[in-house]
Amino acid sequence: MTEEAYLFFLKNRMPELIRLNFCIHRTGSSGLPADPHSCRVQQSGSWHASELIDWVHGYAKIFFPIRINERFMNLGTTILKCRHSVREYKPDPIEENILKDILECARLAPTAMNEQPWLFGVITGRETLEKVAGLTDHGTFIAEAAACFAVFGKKNAKYYLEDCCAATENIIIALQAYGIGSCWVAGEKKDYAEAVRTALEVPEEYTLVSLVPAGYPLDIPIQKKKPLKDIHFCEKYPKE
Ligand SMILES: Cc1cc2nc3c(=O)[nH]c(=O)nc-3n(C[C@H](O)[C@H](O)[C@H](O)COP(=O)(O)O)c2cc1C
């Protein structure tokens, strides 16, 4: 990506990223923090889009995959790090071309032996959204989503679960890149998997792996994550 194309992207897509958590909470009275990666969004309404865009332009370089200040950073990983499960959505619909692009991202996920043992459903009809929501236990918010992706795996494929999980993550990250919030809702291990398959009239050779309700976010709760130092090792697990 050229710098020009990148700046075009920032100008046109930043407001969406901002809406989806690419925002910053004020750190005392000092204004914007020095490093966008060190911040977490607390109040997405605190900053005007133009204010943030100016700020990001100032830092545009850090989003290129280049070494600056002893760190590598790029836009892709920044989008990935800004993802959070979103369960409250605005009523705005998701544009058709975006839904199509999300499906493109899903079908490009890696699969064992390139088998691609899947089927992707997109639900936008309110009645069907409500029906699917009602079948789940912890997915009632599907009823309020602008759309819901349903990922089905071909049961006779050895790695269908891994493959469909890879596609599910692609869907979630691609949505995030458009400023659209989503939440992985369990499928494969749930008793309602079969009921969802039947409701969507999907052939019996498939089983539900995941549901991904999506919409422009109303609220973005931020979960605590384990620090990297507690969950990684280099080369070999260290001795006590
Ligand atoms: C396999 C899987 C199943 C999940 N099922 C549900 C679910 O049924 N309902 C729900 O609200 N969230 C579900 N989640 C979302 C998790 O609750 C969420 O990812 C977790 O709390 C961490 O928050 P974060 O996604 O914001 O980092 C699921 C996530 C995964 C990976």
Question: For ligand 1, is residue 85 a contact (CB within 6 Å)?
Answer: yes
pTM, two decimals, is 0.78
Q: What is the pLDDT along the chain (240 residues), one digit of tens a residue?
A: 455 555 565 555 555 554 444 433 323 333 344 344 333 333 334 444 454 555 555 444 333 333 334 444 466 777 788 789 999 999 999 999 999 999 999 999 999 999 999 999 999 999 999 999 999 999 999 999 999 999 999 999 999 999 999 999 999 999 988 889 999 999 999 999 999 999 999 999 999 999 999 999 888 888 888 999 999 999 999 997
Ligand 1 centroid, distance to 85 Cα (angstroms) = 7
DSSP class per residue in 7-58: HHHHHHHHHHHHHTT------TTS-S-S-GGG---S-GGGS-HHHHHHHHHH
Ligand 1 centroid, distance to 185 Cα (angstroms) = 6
Pocket residue to mutate for ligand 1, from 20, 21, 85, 226, most atoms within 8 A of Cβ: 85
Question: For ligand 1, is residue 185 a contact (CB within 6 Å)?
Answer: yes
Ligand 1 centroid, distance to 127 Cα (angstroms) = 24
Domains of the chain (ranges, CATH numbers): 3-82 (no CATH), 88-219 (3.40.109.10)
> What is the token pair recorded at 200?
């969507």
Q: What is the three-class DSSP state of 155?
A: coil
Question: For ligand 1, is residue 184 a contact (CB within 6 Å)?
Answer: yes
Question: For ligand 1, is residue 173 a contact (CB within 6 Å)?
Answer: no
